[in-house]
Structure formats: C-alpha cells, structure tokens
Amino acid sequence: MFFADAGSLDQLLATLDRIEDEAAGRLATLAELAGRASRPASGTWRPVPAAGTRQRSYNSSRPDRVRSADRAPNKAAVSDVNRTGVPGTRRWVTRRLASRALARTAIAGTAVGIAVLATLAVVGSAVTSDATTQVRRAQEITRAWNNISSHINGQDAALRGFLATGGTQYRRSQLDQTIDSARSDLDWLQEHDAIDRVELDVIRGAYANYSRIVVQIMAMVGREASVQGYAELASLAFAPLRDEVLENVRHNDDKLTGYLAGVDQRTAFQRMVAAIIIPFCAVVFGLCAVVLVGYQRRAERQAASRLHDATHDPLTGLGNRTLLGERLRTAIGNTDDAGEPFCLLLIDLDRFKEVNDTLGHHCGDQLLVGVAERLVGASREGDEVVRLGGDEFALVMPNTPDRAGALEAARRVLAALRQPMDLDGITVDVDASIGVSLYPADGTDAPGLLRHADVAMYTAKRAHAGVAAYDPDQDQNDANKLTMQSDLRQGVSRGELVLYYQPKIDMATGQPSGMEALLRWQHPQLGLLAPDRFIPMAEETGLIDLITTEVLDMALRQVREWYDAGRALRVSVNVAARSLFDVTFPEQVVAALERYDVPPELLTLEITETALIADPERANLVLERLRAHGVDISIDDFGTGYSSIAHLRAMPPHELKIDRSFVMRMCTDARDETIVRAVVELAKGLNLRVVAEGVEDAGAFEALSALGCDEAQGYHISRPLPPAELAAWLETVHENVMVA
C-alpha cells in the first residue's frame, strides 16, 4: 500500500538509477587509477542523470548537460581495467549495480517487508485490542458479581438488625434502602454476561423471592409469631442465594486471572517478535526515507497546483482577480524600471444575463469559455488575460506606448469578440464594452488603473461606442456620477439591490389584492437610495436591462414564498421602455415564471404611457406575446402621458393606474376629481381593472370607493415595506386600513 502512487515509484526508480550510475562512476575511477588511464584535463566528469531527472550542473559553462568528451574516457578506462586484470568481483558488482532488474527486485522486497511489518503491526494491535476488551469485560462482570454479593449481604445484615431491634424506624429505613439493591447489577448481567441464562434467571428469581419475604417481614412487625416464621423463611432463602452468588464471584475471579495470564503471554510473544524485527525495521525505514522524498516532491507539486487554482478561474482557465493584481504590480515595476508604459483593458459583455437566464447556465458557461478563447486569440505574447468574475474580463497589455495604440488594440479585441457564437445549435450575437486606462497616465497603482478602466468602460456602454479610453477631465468634472455608475454595476453583482413592497387593497373587501415591487439600492456608503437616484443613470448606461431582469427574479422569488405560505398575492413590476422593444423579453419573463413555478396571473407588468407611444407597433408585439402567456399588463401613471385612447383598443391592457397627482388633489380640486371619475368610468366601460395610487388619507379612500375604484394604493394603506415587515402587516391588515 506504500507504493500505490505511481509517481513515487518512478521517482524511487530514478533515484536508484542515479545511485547505480554514481557507484559505477566511482568504481570506474578506481579502475582508471589502477590501470593508469589518463582523463582529459578539461571539464569535470559526472554520471549521466537518470531519465526524467534534472541534476545540478558542476560545469558552469555547460549547465544541466553531460559532455560526451567527459564520458568517453570513463568507458575507455573501464575497458583498460578489464584488460589489465581487475578482480572479477569488482566487475560483477559493477554489472549488478547497473542492472534495473536488481533495482526492481529491491523495491519489490522493500514493499514485501513493509507489508509484513504493517501486517504484524495490525495483528498485534488487533490482538492487544481484543485482549484489552476481554479483560475489561471480565472486570466489569466480576465487579457486577461483587456488587451483587455486597448488596445481598448488606440486605441480610440490615434484616438481622431490623429483627434484633424489634423493627425501629431507623432500622426499617436502613432495611428499606437495601431491598432490591442488587437488581440493577442483575439486569446488567442479563444483558452483558454470557453465562447460562437459565442459571442467571434462577438467581434472579431467588433474589426476588428473598426480597419479597423481607418486605413481608417489614409489614408484620408487631406480630411476633408471623415475623418469626418469615424470618426463618428468609434465612432459608438467603443461604442458597448467597452460595450461588459467591460461586459466580469465584468463577469470574478465576476467569479474570486466566485472561490476565493470557495477556502476559501474548505481550511476551509480541516483545519477542519486536526484538526480532527491529533490525529489519532499520533497513525498511532507510528505504522508506527514499520514498518520502518522492512524496515530498509530490506534495510540492500539489502545493503548486493549489496556488494555480487560487489564482485562476476554474471555468475558463484564465487568471482571476488575484492574479490580475499581481500582474499589474509586476507591470508597474517593470515600467518604472524600463520606462515602457502598458495599458489595461476592462471588458464587460453586453446582455450576458439574458443569455444565461434564457438559454440556461450551460450556454452561459459556453459563452464565457468562448469569449475567453477569443480574448486569448486576440492577445499578443506577453499579454495577460484574466476573468474578474461574472461577465467581466481584463487584459493587461505591456509595451503600449500611447492612448492611440491602446484604443487600436481594444478595437481589435472587440472585433474578435463581436463574431456570432454557436451555443448548442443557437447562434448568439456577442457584444461588449471595453474601457481603457494607461499606466502611468491614468493611474499610479493597480486600484487606480482598475477604477479608471471601469469608468471608461461605463462611458463606452453609455455612449454605445464599444470602446472608450479614460478621460481625466470627464472624471474630474463628474466624478460622483461616474463613481456611482461603477458602484451600481458592482452593487447589482453583489446583491445590493433590494425590493420593498407597497400593498394594494381591494376596496370592496378591504383585503390585500397585490403588491407593487419598488426598487431600492442599499449602497454601502450612502445607505438606502430611492430609484430616482440611480434608475436614470441605469437607463443611460444600459444597466437598466440587467436591473429589470434582477428585479423580476427577486419579485417572483418572493411571490413563490408567499404562495408556499398560503397567500396568492399578485405582484406588479415596473418595466423599462427598452424591454418593450426587446423581442427576447417575453421569453425572459416566461423563464423566470417557470424557474419559480409561479402562475402567470400573479404577475403584472407596469408600463408607462410614454414607453408605449415611443414605438407602438414593436411594443404591441412584445405585449401581445406576454398576454398570450397569461401575464397581466398595467398602464402606469395613466392620464399624464400623450397616448391615444386608440392604443387601449389596439393593445387592451388588464389594468389602468390613475396617477397619484390626480388622486392626491381630488378632494380639493374639482378638476382632478373629474379626471379621476372619467378614468374610472373609462376603465369600467372597457372592462379593465382600475387602481388609484397616491391614496394618502381617509377622504381620498372614501371618495374613490364611492366612485367604484377597484383597488387603492398609498401611504393611507401602508408605506412600502421590506418583506419581513410586510409579513407582520399582513397579519394585522384590518387594523391598519379603514374600509369605507
């Protein structure tokens, strides 16, 4: 078992080969002296290293190489010795040391010796363990019988004292404590002792009978004749019981003595065997030392492998963020020494999450591997390609003297990436945004270069330019905005986006009818940010698509949790205008519904009038496909846009949401009240659900109820709540809402 590792066996063979060659060389040297053969003055002789091994060079002019001029004289010397009468024994030793058969025989013998040693150790350990177990068990059984003897003798003594004193309370208490005191040890023997069960049952029955007699004696104190009779019965019952117990005590003492004698014999035998094999062990340990060297080398290889794993991405095989930091520091040091600038490209794939969610993680992984291969193919020798995580990659390009050269290299990389890619028979267009930063112009350390490349990448994404170099003036004039853009993308990947839910109430029943999912950003430094702080920026940079997908995923996951808890609550999710023009958006929605097994009728997508009229034909195609899958459509902020009522006929939604600006003033402004009334009547006429948002007080709630509004939403009902607080609100909903 010690030679199961093939690598260690090969190393051991190589080591023995080296020893053979060195021994042969030394003998040849002696033969050379004996035969007065001369060696060339140049060079230093050393044996040929074993195949696959690397020897330290002793010739500084020709490292790691054996010169043929150094080998030839040795062969000649050996021939001269053979001709001049070197003793046959020396020639025999030389041949035997050069024989691989002998080496293999030695290894086989070592393996057998170690196996024998291991077998003896295992057998000795097993024998010792078995003996220890037997002795321990015998000791426990003997202890149990001794306890039983002590208990019944104590019970007899207590009975005699009880009878002698006429049954005083003190003696009664003592006797009462001894009754059945041996039962636990008898029960233990019943489970653990291997003596005749019939014999043990007889003893148990005799002890039980004796204890019953003692109990009867205690009950008859005061009746002299009866007590005397039972005392005689007790004496008659006790004598054979005591004898049987004592016999078992003696028997188990003898058995324990026999076990101990056997242990002594086995121990003596083991000592004798150990004394015999100690010299053999010394030889075995010497050979094992050679094996351990092989294992040490293997451990070093494994450590190197672990180091590689710690600095490389397991999916693509590229370096990871840790390796990027090392390469940047190395490149900075080389630039400072040689004065040759380098550039950093930060590459972010566009719409990767859509591919991952729509086609599955397998295709997403294929895409990442394909992108990695293209990046490696587009890079030069000496460039370093790394994967930072998710769909982000980086490329360190040494010897890039100016910004124009860096941008040209980035465009070359982008052109290589933009080729369509086949993923399990599906052709997918690949696109990316690349940000460029140069050292030392755009940063003096690795974090600064990364941040500026990140800023440039967002600039490229926002402008749909594909490639952009870091612009110090832009960063200086709008540093906060660019930093927020960078933080937002990282925040999405780190899970900093959270959803709050604002309840909607069915005005007819007062029961919760659904929730609107409202996005918040838990910024690590700025705290909880409302959507108006970052959604416009997300729309500029194209992050809105990724955020929409993330919000849809979080909302449906929450609906699934409510559904499992027995609450079928409809959730409304706001959809950006870009999604209405994305032909793959319906498939993304369906995939999310299937992922969490949510009925489509529990999802409502809210769109604005402005988004609807931007491109009605394309929007209608997407919305019709969503409707066909059973998803509800809601027109948000109805009444504030410029949409035509004809759009409601061409693409009938399921719901109209009256804008909060009308609802909040309807009790104080007759015109707003008229608009609200008209929208409610329009919705009723078109058989649409109508929801009023911005219900801030009981007056508006009552007025809307009188108009026949279906659902209400606003701070009068509840502020937006995180899921944990929403659960508590749902339990007390009748106390929180006053239904008119």
Same domain, 136 and 171: yes
Count how many domains the chain has.
Answer: 4
Helix (H) or strand (E) holding 554: helix 543-564
Same domain, 700 and 553: yes
Are 730 and 702 in contact, with CB atoms under 8 Å apart?
A: no
Q: How far is CA 540 from CA 28, 521, 543, 555, in A?
A: 83, 17, 8, 24
3-state secondary structure of 572: strand
Same domain, 269 and 376: no
Same domain, 136 and 85: no
Task: Give the C-alpha separation, 375 to 193, whole Å.
Answer: 76
For residue 637, tell me if it sits in a domain: yes
Range name among 251-260, 593-602, 651-660 with the lowest pLDDT average: 251-260
Task: Give the C-alpha separation, 334 to 330, whole Å.
Answer: 6
Residue 86: per-residue pLDDT: 43
Same domain, 242 and 338: no
Same domain, 133 and 89: no
Per DSSP, 319 falls in state B
In terms of residues, how long is the chain? 740
Are 630 and 654 in contact, with CB atoms under 8 Å apart?
A: no
Burial 271-310 (b: 16+ CB within 10 A, else e): eeeeeebeeeeeebeebbebbeebeeeeeeeeeeeeeeee
Same domain, 170 and 279: yes
Residue 258: per-residue pLDDT: 80
Mean pLDDT of all residues in 272-301:
73
Residue 246: per-residue pLDDT: 82
Mean pLDDT of all residues in 194-213:
77
Same domain, 402 and 430: yes
For residue 206, tell me if it sits in a domain: yes
Which pair of tokens denotes residue 195?
């003596």
For residue 620, tell me if it sits in a domain: yes
Same domain, 721 and 582: yes
pLDDT category at 19 given cuts 50, 70, 90 is low
Task: Give the C-alpha separation, 736 to 718, whole Å.
Answer: 8
CATH number at residue 685: 3.20.20.450
CATH number at residue 402: 3.30.70.270
For residue 266, tell me if it sits in a domain: yes
> Is pLDDT at 71 greater than 80 in this prediction?
no
For residue 141, tell me if it sits in a domain: yes
- Of 270 and 102, more confident: 270
> Is pLDDT at 376 greater than 90 in this prediction?
yes
Please enumerate in sequence order all residues whose Cβ is within 8 A of that of 211, keeping only pairs 6 or more positions apart, or say none. 155, 179, 180
- Of 186 and 196, more confident: 186
Mean pLDDT of all residues in 177-193:
81
Same domain, 469 and 581: no
> At residue 546, what is the residue type?
L
Condensed to tens digits (0 to 9), the pLDDT of residues 474-531 reads 665 456 777 888 899 899 989 999 999 999 999 999 899 999 999 999 999 999 999 9
Residue 13: per-residue pLDDT: 52
For residue 231, tell me if it sits in a domain: yes
For residue 535, tell me if it sits in a domain: no
Mean pLDDT of all residues in 556-573:
95
CATH number at residue 142: 1.20.120.1730
Residue 51: per-residue pLDDT: 37
Out of 77, 98, 119, pick the residue that ends a domain: 98
Mean pLDDT of all residues in 246-269:
79
> At residue 728, what is the residue type?
A
Condensed to tens digits (0 to 9), the pLDDT of residues 27-51 reads 455 445 444 433 433 333 333 333 3
Same domain, 90 and 122: no
For residue 50, tell me if it sits in a domain: yes
Peptide bond into 652 cis (omega under 30): no
Condensed to tens digits (0 to 9), the pLDDT of residues 692-737 reads 999 999 999 999 999 999 999 999 999 999 999 999 998 887 554 4
Give the distance between the most distant pair of CA atoms in the chain: 131
Condensed to tens digits (0 to 9), the pLDDT of residues 323-374 reads 999 999 999 998 888 777 899 999 999 888 878 877 888 999 999 999 999 9
Containing structural domain, residue 118 = 110-300
Same domain, 90 and 118: no
What string of DSSP letters covers 173-185? HHHHHHTTTTHHH
> Is pLDDT at 225 greater than 70 in this prediction?
no
Residue 17: per-residue pLDDT: 58
Q: Which residues pair with 693 in a beta bridge?
A: 713
Condensed to tens digits (0 to 9), the pLDDT of residues 575-603 reads 988 888 888 999 999 999 999 999 999 99
3-state secondary structure of 1: coil
Out of 447, 462, 477, pick the residue that ends a domain: 477
Task: Give the C-alpha separation, 189 to 193, whole Å.
Answer: 5
